[in-house]
Structure 1
Amino acid sequence: MITMKDIVREGHPVLTQVAEEVVLPATEQEKKILSDMLEFLKNSQNEKIAEQYELRPGVGLAAPQLGISKRMMAVHFEDLKGKCYSDGYFNPKIISHSVEQTYLSAGEGCLSVDREVPGYVPRYARITVKAVNLAGEPVKLRLRGYAAVVFQHEIDHLNGVMFFDHINKNEPFQAPADAKPCDIELTD
């Protein structure tokens, strides 16, 4: 079982590296790691388990956050309309995105960052992602708003980018032009 002790923190070199593609089909070990990542997210949102194992709640987790430089990520959350996203993905890639941007008015958080980092993180309002899911099936996801933000946050980890790299250093609370906020706090 993955716990907070397994998650590498800000400053670890793997968090600034571009992760390697997973050769598909994934190995049993890679599938197990991805499945464990998804289980961690579910456990982190279960009040009883989270308290017992001192887990911070998260909605997404990328393999580099476990010190594994591979293009794998898991998500477990509901969007603002109640649609559930709960799966693991190999080699996720944004294949298209909107010009329009969005952001979370409460800012973003990260399981690999143990401090508050105030500021708006500009994100694309809509994205299309291609990946192979945990079941080994190719998927194409059209995401908007909060779901798009979660996926962009995790895919950034696969590219060695931290959420605070996007924050305007001089004016952290300057909203992206013509952007509307998604109003849920994100912890990945």
Structure 2
Amino acid sequence: MIKMRDIIREGNHTLRAEAKQVKFPLSEADQKLANDMMEYLENSQDPELAKKYGLRAGVGLAAPQVDVSEQMAAVLVPSENEDDEPVFKDVIINPVIISHSVQPGALTEGEGCLSVDRDIAGYVIRHDRITLRYYNMAGEEKKIRLKNYPAIVCQHEIDHLHGILFYDHINGDNPFAADDDLVLIS
């Protein structure tokens, strides 16, 4: 089981490296990693388990964050209603954004990261809508359209696979600078 001590923090070179593509069929180690990353997200979103294991809540966890330089990330965006199915839940392997909106989007309260132990204020400007192509654990190619929060989460995780951290997108001179067409997501 992945715990907070297993998640590397900013300053570790793996977080700034280009991760390598994952080969199929998945090795046993890659299958375990994928399952463990999803388990972390599930546990971190359960208040009792999060408290028991000292987990920070997360909606995404990329392999480089656990010091494995591979293009794999677990994503678990819960529904607003606890009884509903998650908005998006999968392990995305070798993901590629194949199209995106011109319209930018950002979270009103900014972004956070399990690998960053400090608050960094500012709009993280991303695409409001994306079409994502990836492979699941079975090696099946998937294509999905995402918008708003799920699109932001997937872009954040894909950035990890390319050595980019969320604050790289924040305007250093004016962290809350925004064009008129920016979609703010709360």
- Quick check: TM above 0.5? yes
SS of match in other structure, 2:177: coil
Query: CA shift at 1:78, angstroms?
Result: 2.6
In 1: Cα distance, 2:115 partner to 2:80 partner: 25
The TM-score normalised by the length of structure 1 is 0.93
Query: CA shift at 1:117, angstroms?
Result: 0.4
Q: 1:153 aligns with which of 138, 153, 156?
A: 156
Question: C-alpha deviations, 1:104-162, integer Å up to 9, x for none?
Answer: 01000000000000000001011011111123321101011111000000000000000
| Letter of the structure 2 residue corresponding to residue 49 of structure 1 | L
Query: CA shift at 1:90, angstroms?
Result: 1.1
In 2: Cα distance, 1:134 partner to 1:85 partner: 15
In 2: Cα distance, 1:98 partner to 1:79 partner: 23
Query: CA shift at 1:79, angstroms?
Result: 5.5
Unaligned stretches of 5+ in structure 1? Answer: 184-188
Q: Is the 8 A contact 2:25 2:138 kept in 1?
A: no
Report which stretch shifted further, 16-25 or 163-172. Answer: 16-25
Query: CA shift at 1:168, angstroms?
Result: 0.1
The residue aligned with 2:103 is 100
- Go from structure 1 to structure 2 and tell me whether the alpha carbon gap of 1:143 and 1:97 turns closer, same or farther (over 3 Å shift): same
| Letter of the structure 2 residue corresponding to residue 35 of structure 1 | N
SS of match in other structure, 1:108: coil
In 1: Cα distance, 2:80 partner to 2:166 partner: 21
Aligned CA RMSD, in angstroms, stands at 1.4
The residue aligned with 2:145 is 142
Q: Is the 8 A contact 1:102 1:181 kept in 2?
A: yes
Whether 1:128 and 2:131 are equivalent positions in the alignment is: yes
Q: 2:178 aligns with which of 159, 175, 187?
A: 175
The residue aligned with 1:67 is 67
- Which portions of structure 1, spanning 4 or more consecutive aligned residues, are displaced by more than 6 angstroms? none
SS of match in other structure, 1:18: coil
SS of match in other structure, 1:129: strand
SS of match in other structure, 2:172: coil
The residue aligned with 1:22 is 22
The TM-score normalised by the length of structure 2 is 0.94
In 1: Cα distance, 2:179 partner to 2:59 partner: 24
In 2: Cα distance, 1:43 partner to 1:135 partner: 23
Query: CA shift at 1:24, angstroms?
Result: 1.6
- Go from structure 1 to structure 2 and tell me whether the alpha carbon gap of 1:122 and 1:80 turns closer, same or farther (over 3 Å shift): farther
In 1: Cα distance, 2:80 partner to 2:100 partner: 20
Q: Is the 8 A contact 1:64 1:70 kept in 2?
A: yes
